[in-house]
Structure 1
């Protein structure tokens, strides 16, 4: 049974119990259809070996060796992950383009008696839907950007907005990066395609009649690039400015960059990247503060001398905000109240005329 994917929301109503990606682990790691588990019928090394034999020796020999490997790996899955699946279980299988790998595995499952299916066109058909959503189709919901200097807890305000029932697109969470030069997270970032999948699926599930809140970002978050249709919508979007006292911002950074501060050697290494903007003498002074564990003064210095000047330049390009939220501090109560104020000033009915917030 071939299962066509005509839109991203089709994934929410598939008449199957489990989506199975049989591509090699490296392919799955780069991106996969949301909700799919990885049951590769060829490992990365096996896939490379079969491909080399196909090109350099003999296609028939490659197919024969590939079939043996698929059968062996399928047996491992049947005796392992799939051992407890009941007779009524319905799997939906896919590979890169719905070809031999998925077809072979689906055939084995069918011989057992499971009424499964194949994703028509494989992963490529899903990827086309993501590309259509992010590269070809204008973003439908009205976007409201939260902007403010580093350390103004914009991400936390987003989380409060979400907790209060608002629609939120947390790009930094999807990119696994805090957006600044020191903003890397343990484990690194997802591949670009995975980042785009997360965005596309989130947007597909949103109500176009209601606003969507997100942080104002540059067009890159770490190494991940914001897709063009979303970026164009962000450039046109209204924005709300959040401001807070310097000391509160520095304290917030120290708390929220605790993973980086726990590794002073890594912090010192990352600070070196700022030498191109501030010179080696200044960076060495900041590095000395890091070695001495003077994290709060270091955070204040970075805000004053690096982050805020860059933010002011970007703010002049962005134009005047529709609303400025002055926070006395950055306690959870302060942030919850800020989120409530912002949500209360933005209503779906504004989307046509967009008056001042």
Structure 2
């Protein structure tokens, strides 16, 4: 196990620039559409051309490169002029900026030249976002395997995510994959009002989180499938998780139902909508179970519905997944929780945090 900080093992210096948060401002000069797909941590989108202008220049470039460049420069100078005055008012000549575009070419150079003319210190990312993306992908092959994970497993609704939060409060290192993916990792896991990041953006967020961790200390993580919603975990992380020792959490059913009501208030208000999302399970659970769920939703018996969904689908599904991904021979222990309120979870977190890292389990 290396004792070198993760931020030094995988560093933006490998891209020829400083740590991203050492810059007063990181400017993404690409179009808004490109920025939305993925961007450097903390980057602000100050596009040289907007989406429509970018498309227009691209179309013209196919038939008349000279005309395309003229139009592109015209749009660029106008857009930079509109955006540069707020920068002048917010920053001083002592501030240093990082600028990038897709390949580190014309768009980032336009910003760089203008800012340097004004007197700012500016670094331009050679190779642009494309090189950054390659760095992210390569880093996610090697970096996840450098940590020692403690995996929290257990059926849905048993408080794993809340226990992670409590462990973080105790000063433990945690990696909350569901928070990064904006998804709770099941058929019902989509978060209202929070679309998932793109796969590329998820990768960037994951690498940024890993770089903040210390490989010399344990990392608590929740057991996950290969995919969280539509976002896929890198192979290196997925394999490292399944080589790790596991704490199997359990909780009373009434507590699990109560937690579900708190975590899924939209389904408490619209149980019929919840059942509609479960219809793809018909081949697994059978039509009779689906009709039972429909009846419970119609009656407004949310607690009975939630319990039935857990018992008839989630718990058996979890058991199969555990047998498949955490086979015998891997260290495992049981952690029954008497409740899922703040105090029982805090007590469990304190107990786990007090354990000496690497200590043998009884």
TM-score by length of structure 1 reads 0.91
* Kept after mapping to 2: 8 A contact 1:9/1:205: no
- CA 1:236–1:300 in 2, change beyond 3 Å: closer, same or farther? same
Q: 1:74 to 1:264 in 2, by over 3 A?
A: farther
* 1:171 alignment counterpart: 177
1:179 deviates by: 0.8
> Partner residue of 1:152?
158
Question: Any idea what the Cα deviations from partners look like across 1:29-82, whole Å, max 9, x if unmatched?
Answer: 111110111111111121111111112x11111111111111111112124465
Cα distance, 1:107–1:263 mapped onto 2, change above 3 Å: farther
CA contact (8 A) 2:272 2:294 kept: no
Q: Are 2:84 and 1:78 aligned?
A: yes
Of 257-266 and 218-227, the range deviating more from structure 2: 257-266
Unaligned runs of 5+ in 1: none
SS in 1 for 2:351: helix
Classify the secondary structure of the residue corresponding to 2:334. strand
Residue pairs, 1:1-357, within 5 angstroms: 5-6=13-14, 10-11=18-19, 14=22, 16-55=23-62, 57-80=63-86, 83-137=89-143, 139-186=145-192, 187-264=194-271, 266-317=273-324, 318-319=326-327, 322-347=332-357, 350=358, 355-356=360-361
Is the contact made by 2:251 and 2:339 (CA closer than 8 Å) also made in structure 1? yes
The 8 Å contact of residues 21 and 42 in structure 2, kept in 1 or not, is answered as no
- 1:152-205 Cα distance to aligned partner (Å, 9 max, x none): 010000001111011100000000001111010122200011111111111112
Partner SS, residue 242 of structure 2: helix
Secondary structure of 2:286's counterpart equals helix
Cα deviation, 1:117-165, whole Å, max 9, x if unaligned, reads 2122212232222112212455211011100000001000000111101
8 Å CA contact retained: 1:70, 1:105: no
Cα separation, 1, equivalents of 2:306 and 2:17: 43
Distance of 2:70 and 2:138 partners within structure 1: 37
Q: TM-score, normalised by structure 2?
A: 0.90
Contact kept, 8 Å, 1:8 with 1:201, in 2: the verdict is no
